[in-house]
Structure 1
Amino acid sequence: MAPSHTGQEAVVIGGGFYGTTIAAYLVRARGMKRVTLIEREDALLKRASCNNQARIHNGYHYPRSFTTAYRSRVNLRKFVLDWPDAVKRDFTKLYAIARQHSKVTAKQFERFCHEIDANIRPAPPALRSLFESRLIEDVFLVEEYAFDSGRLAAWAANELGACGVQVTTGTRVTDVARGSGSALTVAVQHGNGSRESIACHYVFNCTYSGLNQILGDYPGTQTHLKQEIAEIALIAVPPRFQDIGVTVMDGPFFSTMPFPARGLHSLSHVRYTPHLNWSDESGVDPYERLSVYPRESRVDRMLRDVVRYIPSLSQARHVESLFEVKTVLAKNEIDDGRPILFEKHPQLPGCFSVLGGKIDNIYDVLEKLDAERLETEADRCQTDAGVIYG
């Protein structure tokens, strides 16, 4: 294996939204000069950052996890300011509470929204009339947005280029190991089969579903993860719904909202979106499992249930489905909370594992990084000079 000619201050593994944002942060906020980002796909933001519901949460979705809801409220305001060109705001978002099988009543949901200071008001009669009143207890007009993953990918490419981050795509990290002194060694395999070894001081594993598929001295995450093959259906909605998003709460229901990157609507269903799940473990590559999965769509069952609650969506047309691996913290399955995973590995100093539950969680990660003492090459030079000449 040929060594890299130049050592790096940091290697970021994973070119999704979290990996690209962290790489730019290391340069912009922490003063690192030599940062490399490695992505196994042929372009940035190709996997979970793209294949999802494209929702920027504002807290409404988490009445059973106050912390997640509150952080969503705080983070959405920042996200809109930092990525305005990627945010779609010009649509009406409705939350409807089912009369049966919902884990919250309309009054409970309204009270919860007031507790987290989220905008909510009764939907006007014209919008309420879209719903089957025998099945829906109440409908609320809320403030929630969608993001355009294509525009975020364009931002990532431009920002990393401006920062001078070295981006390598079509390349997979196989091992992370202790190097000499305080250094780490990252072993990579390029798409053409060639291998390379990169020396660095810090490694940030942002591979989402692939967190525990790196070998060598990498210890894996202490937090137990659950993997799931999920289907997000993309549908063309009738003209009346072109600028409307709907979420029916809170239990075995569904959500449909604009999907800006394609000019369609996403459709997810609590019962039918999850296809297959398993406990994450080293040696069981989630992406390989996805590659051999038959991908038989359940959109017919999704739409059949949707039409019960919103009859006029019977005219919706299925265009295609996005299948992707979804990774969650096993401990949050009960309350639907979506905290970040941020682990330092004492066995491998300088190595971090990062997992975000939703796109706006990036600010929770950056707050964690702000609290870390990350030495730059300039810091080390000053220390060495002090030892030699002090």
Structure 2
Amino acid sequence: MTTSPLCSGSTTPLEEHHHSFRFGIIGGGWYGCHIATSLRALGFRVKLFEQHDRLLHEASGNNQFRLHMGFHYARHSDTRTQSHDGFQRFLERYPSLSRSVQDNIYAVPLCDSLIDYGTYRTIMVSSGIHFTEGAPLGVELTNVAGTIYTAERVLLLSKARAYFEAELKEVLALGHRVSHIENMDDGVPIDGERFDFVVDATWGHYARPPDVQVIYEPTLLLYYEGPPDFPAVTLVDGPLCSVYPTEEPGLFTLSSVPHTPLGQFDTPVEARAVRDSVDPQVVAAKRALMEEQIELYLPAFPTLFRYVGPQLAIKTKLIGAHDDRTCQVTRRGRIFSVMSGKIDTVFFATERILSMIEGSGALSVNDVMSSLRDDIRVVNNQTKKRAAGARL
């Protein structure tokens, strides 16, 4: 059994009485892997199903690899709170699976941001996140009203994949596409194999989560080679763009809120069809739009960066205009669905699942009568006896 900071001495009632619980987890991305290792560390039996032949293959392995503190979510306080909390916890739990990006610049454009710089700065100050105003020396930005910079981190994808494959090697079912789940009162068979609970960590690709409205968005990011010590640059907040380093020094991603998406669809099947049909003409058209946008704020971009190739993925997003990227956990019977747009909120997912299981067990004591009045009578009688004894 693996060890973890989660098991640091005392046990909870859930741990004491339900070590026999068996969890089936669908999806070997960051959430599926973290939930699986966390549950194993608490003594539960786990099996992780991943349709590909390696972990972190889909969206978890195709993104900007940010480990951030919430600076680019000025319009949603819960996302900032979960990100800030998760950033610190991620460093404690996975100290070797990210590296420092010392200078992360967040710049508010003069005209294209949904909020002004003063409002942005005030929000970040009130959030308690450390930053320095201005920009590091040697970085020239244009058409911006103000900038801040801070130290954040980038995820190390290759190390993370190797880490989770080693931690979970005894319970991995790689190359297994789940075809059938039956949500029964006393268990959940996955392709005929029984589990007590199932966690769908596919971000809605296996089954749309209940009571959550989402869209499926195929995306195209671009890779560029650039100066290894160049900082991350993110324009906030709204339909803007960013340049962010990857795990490989000198290799960066270019992303754009309006130009990275290839459409929005009601089903993952439609989104996958669009992602898998991207041709060089689509890439060239998107590249022209994204480079034009970043050059408006970082005019040295074409001089400093050289195009390498595209990155394709699918994001599942909550429907709404308030930029919500919090972690959502819903439950239907014995099946949990986990949704989130940010890797640093993995801790919330595990704790929410355990809380919902433990809470459901408490339903059996709903009819117990309150003992408070009896307790008051006992104390009153004791004080009266002591008073009577004092008078004798």
TM-score interval for Structure 1 and Structure 2 normalised by the shorter chain: 0.7 to 0.9
User: Equivalent residue for 2:75?
Assistant: 64
Structure-2 change in CA distance of 1:8 and 1:363 (3 Å): closer
Report the Cα offset of residue 40 of structure 1: 0.6
Correspondent of 1:97 among 93, 96, 108: 108
Report the Cα offset of residue 233 of structure 1: 0.9
User: Which ranges of structure 2 fall in alignment gaps of 5 or more residues?
Assistant: 1-19, 360-392
User: Equivalent residue for 1:379?
Assistant: none
User: Superposition pairs for residues 179-218 of structure 1, below 5 Å?
Assistant: 182-187=186-191, 197-212=192-207
Specify which structure has the higher proportion of strand: 1
- Describe the superposition over 1:27-82 as per-residue Cα deviations: whole angstroms up to 9, x where unpaired: 112x223x211111110011111100111121111111111112211111111121
**How many Å separate the matches in 2 of 1:262 and 1:15?**
26
Asked whether 1:363 is paired with 2:321, we answer no
Correspondent of 2:140 among 120, 130, 139: 130
Report the Cα offset of residue 243 of structure 1: 3.2
The count of aligned residue pairs is 336
- Describe the superposition over 1:88-134 as per-residue Cα deviations: whole angstroms up to 9, x where unpaired: 2143111111001211211111111111011122225734x5112xx
Q: TM-score, normalised by structure 1?
A: 0.81
**How many Å separate the matches in 2 of 1:170 and 1:350?**
24
Cα RMSD for the two superposed structures: 2.2
Correspondent of 2:288 among 280, 300, 317: 300
Report the Cα offset of residue 367 of structure 1: 2.1
User: Equivalent residue for 1:190?
Assistant: none
User: Which ranges of structure 1 fall in alignment gaps of 5 or more residues?
Assistant: 1-6, 188-196, 214-219, 376-390
Structure-2 change in CA distance of 1:262 and 1:212 (3 Å): farther
**How many Å separate the matches in 1 of 2:350 and 2:79?**
16
Structure-2 change in CA distance of 1:16 and 1:28 (3 Å): same
**How many Å separate the matches in 2 of 1:289 and 1:329?**
20
Q: TM-score, normalised by structure 2?
A: 0.80
**How many Å separate the matches in 2 of 1:262 and 1:42?**
27
Correspondent of 1:147 among 131, 155, 162: 155
Asked whether 1:32 is paired with 2:44, we answer yes
**How many Å separate the matches in 1 of 2:338 and 2:130?**
31
User: Superposition pairs for residues 1-390 of structure 1, below 5 Å?
Assistant: 9-29=22-42, 31-33=43-45, 35-124=46-135, 126-127=137-138, 130-132=140-142, 135-161=143-169, 164=170, 166-178=171-183, 182-187=186-191, 197-212=192-207, 220-237=209-226, 239=227, 242-261=229-248, 263-280=250-267, 284=269, 286-294=271-279, 296-297=282-283, 298-315=286-303, 316-331=305-320, 334-345=321-332, 349-373=333-357
**How many Å separate the matches in 2 of 1:130 and 1:209?**
41
State whether residues 48 and 326 of structure 1, in contact with CA within 8 Å, keep that contact through their aligned partners in structure 2: yes
Structure-2 change in CA distance of 1:249 and 1:303 (3 Å): same
AA aligned opposite 1:157: E
State whether residues 44 and 153 of structure 1, in contact with CA within 8 Å, keep that contact through their aligned partners in structure 2: yes
Report the Cα offset of residue 253 of structure 1: 1.5
Report the Cα offset of residue 178 of structure 1: 4.0
AA aligned opposite 1:184: V
Report the Cα offset of residue 363 of structure 1: 1.4
AA aligned opposite 1:274: P
Report the Cα offset of residue 341 of structure 1: 2.2
Higher alpha-carbon deviation: 82-91 or 59-68: 82-91
Structure-2 change in CA distance of 1:56 and 1:130 (3 Å): same
Identity, in percent, stands at 24
Where 1:373 maps in the other structure, the secondary structure is helix
